[in-house]
Amino acid sequence: MEAIAHARFQRYGTRKVAQVLKEIRGKPVLEAERLLPMIPRVCSRMVVKAVRSAAANLVIRASKAGRPIDPQKVYIKSCWSTMGPMGNMKRTLPAPQGRAYTFRRKVCHLTVVVSDERAGSKRK
């Protein structure tokens, strides 16, 4: 059984979030929650929230199905970040001779999928 959590329109760059996700992919949720605060990126707090939300979604989904889940055996099956819309957050930067340069703030969408079985194993 698996569950998904989305964190959309987050004010972080996609590449920097992907560097954090690479460190936790395939690990148990409890180990990822211990590891993430030590990663020197601001976006790791947002990733912790998404991982906890996905784990809570899995527990709720399993309880509705009548299957108890051991928190020790919840794994991060997959996680990825994609680029969000950059057109909405246009900002200006002062430039020479009274001009204004526009730049767009980066936004990303984060998706975390957790499961009660490891990513490589399959049930028979």
- pLDDT tens track for 35-84: 999 999 999 999 999 999 999 999 999 989 888 888 888 999 999 999 99
pLDDT classification of 121: cutoffs 50, 70, 90: low
| Residue appearing with tokens 């004010």 | 11
CA-based R_g, the chain, Å: 18
Q: How many CA atoms lie within 13 A of 122 on its CB side?
A: 1
| Cα angle for residues 89, 94, 98 (degrees, 5° grid) | 130
Q: What is the per-residue pLDDT for 28?
A: 95
The whole-model pTM stands at 0.85
Domains of the chain: 2-115 (3.90.470.10)
